[in-house]
Structure 1
C-alpha cells in the first residue's frame, strides 16, 4: 500500500485492486472539469503576485503550480495538492527532490561553510568531485574539468576552449538543438525563434546543420545525413576553419530524439578526418538519464569534450566543461571562471549523488525503471494508438508524440491535444510537460518507486482516454504558455 495524506486531500493506491482514489475535503473548488475537483486558490493568488514583479520571460508555464515542498518523486503545491513528478525539475533532480543522501551532504557542508570562491582559494569538495567526474571520462581518457554555474556557461566554455586549442573560429551545431540562455549558448540554440527574436546580433561563426534522429530510416540517414555539411565544406565553410562540432546525443527540448547511430558514426569520422573537436552536450542527458553515465556512451564514441549542467549539482546550481587535459590546459585564468563556480555546497551535493549512483542498489532500481517505462509505453500505444505517433528516447529520457487524424486520414502533430492531456494529468496528480509542440516529456527521477511509476502511467492512460472521449474542455488552453 502506498499512501500520502496531506491537509487538503488524500492519495490512496492499492496495488492489489488497482484502485486510485482522489479525495478532496476543501470546500473551495475550481470549476468541475470532469474529474475530482481540486483547489488551487493559494497557488493562483501567488501566480498573480508573480506577474506583478517577475519578468514573463522567466516562466514557460503550463499550470498554476506553486511548489510548497517535495520529497523524492512527489511534489506538493501550496494548496496541498500532490503530484507524481515526471519532470525532475527539467532533469536537474535525477534523484528526485530532497534526496536523503544529497540532503545529508548539504547539511554537513553547511556546518563548515556554504561557499568561498575558488577563483582565489581552493576547496576540497570541488577537488574530490572533479576527481570522481574525470574518472568516468569515456575511453579512460586523461581529462580535466572546470566548474561554472550552469549548462549554459558550460556551452560557452566549450566554444572558448575549442577555439583556443585549435586556433580555428567556426562552430557547428544542429537544428532543433538547445544549449542554453547566455549569449554564447543562445547563439547555438535553434529550438525556437523566441530565444532569438529581437535580441541579435548573436555570437558569429555558428553554423547549424540538420540533425538526424533515430526516427530516420537507415537508408535515408546513410545517404543524406552529412550531405548539407559536405556541401558547405565544398563551397563556403572550409573544414580547416571549423574548431568543433557540438551535439546533443539526445535532443532534449527538441523532442527527446536520440541521434541516429549512422549519423553519429559518420559525423565522428568526419571530425577525425578534419581535426575538428567532437564535443558531446550532456547538460540534460548525463548522470544516467539515458541509462548510462553519459548519453554519448550509447554510440561507442570517445568525445574530445563533454558539457555538463542540470543534475551535475544534484539540484544545486552548478555547471561544468570536461575535456582532454591538453585542451583544458590551453587557456590561463581568468579566461573562464566564476565567483560561485565549483562552490563547496553544490560540489558536496554532487559528490553525494554521484556516489549513490555508483551503488548496486541504484543501478538495479534504474534498470527496473527503464523496463517499466518501456512496458508502459507499449501499454499506452496499444490502448491509444490513434493519437500516439512515436515513443522516442533512451533510458529514462523519453517522449510521447501526440497526433490527430485529419478528414483525409492523414495525421499531424496535435498541439492542443497534447496540452489537454498534460493538463488533465496535472488535475489527476501527475506533473508532466511538453516539448517540441506535441511531445510529452517523460523524465521522472531515475530512482522513482516502481509502483508509483506504474501509477503515474495509469494517470497518463486515464488522461489520454479522457481526451479521446472529448471530456477535456477547451478552457484549459488558457494555461497553454509552455514551449
Structure 2
C-alpha cells in the first residue's frame, strides 16, 4: 500500500469542526476499524440498506470526512447534496443546540411554534416568483413530492401525473412509480401507484442536441395523445436531473412545458430537492431558465444535514386542501427548523450562491481540460457546484458503466469520495460542499485525472 503525502493543508473557510483540510491516508480504504464496523453493520442492519463506501465517519467539516482509522477523505458528495454549508456549520450547531435546550418536539399540528412559520416565510421569500405563496413542511424529499402530488390533485380535481425519462423522485410507493430507474430503486417492489405516466426528457447528448422547444413539443404531443390534458393534475420535473445523470435540458424545454401547463390547468411542479439552495449557482435551478413553478419541492440542502423538506407554491393551490389534509408527526420538527433558519442565513450571509458559481467555473475548467484530452469523456455538464462527466466507450460512444465503476472505486481508494449516477450507470457526479477550499477541490479533481489516465 502506498500512503499519500498531502501537499496542501488549510483551515476550514466555512463551517465544520477545526479539521485540517487535507487528504490523508493512514491505512488502506477502508481501514481495519471501518472494516470491523462494517462487519457489525452486516449483522445488525438490513442488507437492503447499501453503503457506497464503507468508511465509518467520526468527524467532518469544510471539504473533508475523517473516518474511524483517522483517514481524511476529500468530500465531493456532500451527503448527496445535503451539506452545502458544510458539516456542522457554526450557525447550525449554535441554533440547534439552543433549540435543544428549549424543547425537542410538540408536533406542529398539535401545539405549534414560531420557527416553523419563520421557515415558511423564508421559503416563500426565496423561491422563484413574487406571487403570494404558502409552504408546508415535511421530513424527506420523497415526502415533499408525495404531498405536492396530493395538493395538485386536490386543487385540479384531476388524477394523472406526468414524470419524465431518467427522473428520480424518491423511494416511497408513489415516488418509485415516478422514478424511471429500475435498479436499485424499483426492482421487485411493485405494484406502484396508478395514474403515473412518463414523457421523453430533453437529453442533448443523446437526442442529437434537439432544440429545447422542439423537444418539449415532442413530449407535449405524447402527453396529449396518450393521456389528455383534461386528465392531468401535474407535470413534475427536476430542472436538472439528479440520479438520472445530471441532465441539463436544452434551453426552452422547461419554459415550453410551463407555458403548456398554464394553458391547460396543469400544476407545474419543480422537484428542486437536489438542485435547490445555491447548489447550481442560483438559489434554485429554475432561475437559470427564468421559470416560476406553481409548486416547488425542496429538501437536502435546506437544513444543514437535519431532516426537513418542504412544498412551497401558489397560495391558491397550497390553500386548497382541507385543514388536517397536510401534516405529519415530525414534519417541521423544531430542531430541523432551527437548523434551516441558520442554514438559510449562512447561504445568504456567506454569499454561497456566488461561491457555488465560482466552484462551477473551477470544476468546469478542470473537467473540460480532462475531456479535451480523453475521448471517453463524452460530456461535461451541470451548473455551479453540481457538475458531472459522462463516460463512454471511445470507439462506439456507448455508455461505459464498467469504466465508471473502476474510476469511482480507484478514487475511493485514493481518498476521494465520489458518487455515480445515470440511467446507464456511466455518469460521475461532483457535489462538493460549498465550504470546500479551492486547493482541496483542485487536488480531488487531479486525483480523478490521475485515475482516468491509469484506466486507459
Query: TM-score, normalised to structure 1's length?
Result: 0.86
Q: Determine which structure has more spread, i.e. the larger CA radius of gyration.
A: 1
Distance 1:107 1:277, change over 3 A: same
Task: Name 1:3's counterpart in structure 2.
Answer: none
Deviation at 1:93, TM superposition (A): 1.1
- Structure 2 residue corresponding to 1:99, chosen from 74, 82, 89: 89
- Structure 2 residue corresponding to 1:414, chosen from 384, 400, 404: 400
Unaligned runs of 5+ in 1: 1-8, 30-36, 469-483
Distance in structure 2 (CA, Å) of the matches to 1:446 and 1:103: 17
User: Higher strand fraction: Structure 1 or Structure 2?
Assistant: 1
Deviation at 1:338, TM superposition (A): 1.0
1:236-288 Cα offsets, whole Å, 9 max, x none, are: 41211111100000110000111222221221121122111111000111001
SS at match of 1:422: helix
- Structure 1 residue corresponding to 2:416, chosen from 430, 448, 470: 430
- Is the aligned partner of 1:301 residue 2:291? yes
Distance in structure 2 (CA, Å) of the matches to 1:21 and 1:152: 35
Deviation at 1:412, TM superposition (A): 2.0
- Is the aligned partner of 1:183 residue 2:173? yes
- Is the aligned partner of 1:368 residue 2:358? yes
Distance 1:428 1:10, change over 3 A: closer
1:353-407 Cα offsets, whole Å, 9 max, x none, are: 1011112543443332222111111222234x132111111111111112223xx
- Is the aligned partner of 1:47 residue 2:33? no
Task: Name 1:260's counterpart in structure 2.
Answer: 250
Deviation at 1:46, TM superposition (A): 1.4
1:161-186 Cα offsets, whole Å, 9 max, x none, are: 00000111111111110111112211
- Is the aligned partner of 1:159 residue 2:145? no
Deviation at 1:129, TM superposition (A): 1.3
SS at match of 2:91: helix
SS at match of 1:342: coil
Deviation at 1:222, TM superposition (A): 4.3
Unaligned runs of 5+ in 2: 10-20
- Structure 1 residue corresponding to 2:378, chosen from 383, 389, 404: 389
Distance in structure 1 (CA, Å) of the matches to 2:315 and 2:24: 57
Task: Name 1:13's counterpart in structure 2.
Answer: 7
Cα RMSD (Å) of the superposition? 2.1
Distance 1:225 1:138, change over 3 A: closer
Query: TM-score, normalised to structure 2's length?
Result: 0.91
Distance in structure 2 (CA, Å) of the matches to 1:275 and 1:39: 53
Distance 1:332 1:22, change over 3 A: closer
The alignment of Structure 1 onto Structure 2 pairs a total of residues equal to: 440
Distance in structure 2 (CA, Å) of the matches to 1:21 and 1:309: 29
1:68-109 Cα offsets, whole Å, 9 max, x none, are: 221121101111111111000011111121112211111121
Task: Name 1:443's counterpart in structure 2.
Answer: 431
Distance 1:130 1:229, change over 3 A: same
1:3-402, aligned counterparts within 5 Å? 12-14=6-8, 37=28, 40-59=31-50, 61-215=51-205, 216-217=207-208, 219=210, 221-234=212-225, 236-359=226-349, 361-383=351-373, 385-402=374-391
Distance in structure 1 (CA, Å) of the matches to 2:275 and 2:434: 12
Distance in structure 1 (CA, Å) of the matches to 2:69 and 2:335: 31
